[in-house]
Structure 1
Amino acid sequence: MRDLVLYIGNRNYSSWSLRPWLALTAAGIPFRDEVILFDFPAGNPGLKAVSPTGRVPLLVDGDLKVWESLAIIEYAHELFPDAGLWPKDRAARADARAIATEMLSSFHALRNACPMNIRRPVKAIDLPEGVMDNVARIETIWHERLARSGGPFLYGAFSAADAMYAPVTNRFEIYALTQDPRSRAYMAAVKAHPAFRAWQEAALAEPWIVPEDEA
């Protein structure tokens, strides 16, 4: 059996760690995780000895190191092609990869202004330019795919595409960014998934706090 190790940051804050952890966990892929804490303002000094980029997440498989969330998910899909990381239908699978890549490369205004924080109470903030444009685009992505699939997830069953957008459901909730019932129903479905609940419970139990203006 392979000994896959996923290095992650603090569960409360690390949105990029959440994505592959959630995808692999939901698919039943065996791995163990190692937490390397954020240490602001020093960064992650412990990761520099492990990761080529000095960042999380990082998947280690023997001598192989795979970094970046989507690359980790794709590598896991190659190892476990029947685990259901991506939709079975070829067209849906291509679409899922497209929106996952859009999540990887876009929505900078939202990410910069509204960092993930599992413990943060719901509270609106003054939003800089571009955030609500990002929100509108994400909701369009969600609503179109939910309408086609019938839900509760973007392609019916939970997939890597849902894992890529999971941190956004936290952002939308804690910064009160949407009241659209379709979005709220999707957010509730993601939060109710056993894998997300496991991550959330572990995040809430963490004792470490990073000041919000540094997160």
Structure 2
Amino acid sequence: MPVPEFELVIGDKNWSSWSLRPWLLMRQAGIPFTETRIRLRQEDTKAQILPHSPTGFVPALKWRGIVIGDSLAICETIADLFPAKNLWPTDSVPRALARSAAAEMHSGFQNLRRDMPMAVLERHPGTGQTEEALADARRIVALWRGLRHRFGRQAIEDQGFLFGRFSVTDAMYAPVVSRFETYGIDLAALGDDGTVRSYMDAILTLPSMQDWIAGAQAEEKVKADGA
């Protein structure tokens, strides 16, 4: 079997929201890659990452002798390299809004990130639901609902995602779906009419997302056995 052209360096699957994004995109698109995992929150974590990436952060995509850092940059690169996968919407208006939504996730929602960090395997209903974090969550609920109504449900091939088919934008928001589950967000109180709940279910039931969760469980078992 040929060695995959790509190596994706990631952090712990329970915690690393940035790693989940390109991992999920590449798995969902059927793009083979070698997975290299670095344990986070260790004294030598940065030292372990530096041989793979000069930034000292994960994820990092190693390809043809170069290293691409940052989740969105990796996703953009994969979308460019595999145009037939249609990882962005094909029409210009939805594509522009898909990029805008992905960029908003990339640079925004700092309060939600701070108060509700990703913990895929954990359940902490009510924890972290500060006024500031819930304001971020309310914006995300409105965004998802609006995109599903305007584009997803109108798509020729509606698979339940924001623009119908799975896209970079869905990969960027997958960790938020996990956060909403972990912290027991009351979606209806934030304006959901059922659209957002259905969207979250579409993400959570993806075979690739289930594989990520199973990987997180396996990693945590190894940690517990080694403790």
Q: Give the TM-score normalised by the residue count of structure 2.
A: 0.87
1:30-49 to structure 2, matched below 5 A, reads: 30-49=32-51
Shift of 1:209: 6.0
Answer whether contact 2:11 2:39 (CA < 8 A) is retained.
Answer: yes
The residue type equivalent to 1:175 in the other structure is Y
Q: Secondary structure at the match of 2:8?
A: strand
The answer to whether residue 216 in structure 2 is matched with residue 203 in structure 1 is yes
- Distance in 1 (alpha carbons) for counterparts of 2:163 and 2:170: 9
| Alpha-carbon shift at residue 60 of structure 1 (Å) | 0.5
Alignment of 1:53 onto 2:61: no
- The alignment-based identity, stated in percent, is 39
Query: Quick one: which of 8, 11, 17 aligns to 1:9?
Result: 11
Structure 2 equivalent of residue 110 of structure 1: 112
Q: Which runs of 5+ in 2 are unaligned?
A: 189-193
Q: How many Å apart are 1:45 and its aligned residue?
A: 2.2
Superposed displacement of residue 147, structure 1: 0.6
Task: Give me the whole-angstrom Cα distance separating, in 2, the residues matched to 1:41 and 1:178.
Answer: 37
Question: How many pairs align?
Answer: 210
Work out which of the residue numbers 146, 149, 157 in structure 2 matches 1:147.
Answer: 149
Unaligned runs of 5+ in 1: 211-215
Within-5 A mapping of 1:37-186: 37-148=39-150, 149-150=152-153, 152-180=160-188, 181-186=194-199
**SS of corresponding position for 2:120:** coil
Deviation at 1:178, TM superposition (A): 2.5
Instruction: Give, as a single letter, the amino acid of the residue that structure 2 aligns with 1:23.
Output: L
Task: Specify which of 193, 196, 202 is matched with residue 189 of structure 1.
Answer: 202
Residues 1:173 and 1:209: Cα distance change in structure 2 (over 3 Å): farther
Distance 1:209 1:102, change over 3 A: farther
CA contact (8 A) 2:38 2:45 kept: no
CA distance in 2, matches of 1:70, 1:95: 15
1:66-107 deviations in Å (ceiling 9; x for gaps): 000010011111211111211122211111111000000000
Shift in alpha-carbon separation, 1:63–1:164, aligned structure 2, 3 A: same
Change (3 A) 1:23 1:185: same
Secondary structure at 2:41 match in 1: coil
Residues 25-82 of structure 1 show CA distances to partners (whole Å, capped at 9, x for unaligned) of: 1111221211111133554320022211100000000211100001001111121111
Alpha-carbon distance in 2 for matches of 1:184, 1:46: 38
Aligned residue identity for 2:175? P
- C-alpha displacement of 1:200: 1.0
Could you tell me whether the CA contact under 8 Å between 2:115 and 2:128 is conserved in 1?
A: no
* SS at 2:56 equivalent: coil
* Cα gap change, 1:126 to 1:73, in 2 (>3 Å): closer
Equivalent residue of 1:206, what SS?
A: helix
Distance 1:41 1:110, change over 3 A: farther
- Scaled by the length of structure 1, the TM-score of the pair is 0.91
Deviation at 1:6? Answer: 0.6
Contact 1:47 1:54 in 2 (8 A): yes
Structure scoring higher RCO (CA < 8 A, sep ≥ 6) equals 1
Over the aligned positions, Cα root-mean-square deviation in angstroms equals: 1.8
State the alpha-carbon separation in 1 of the partners of residues 50 and 71 from structure 2: 18
Distance 2:186 2:165 in 1: 23
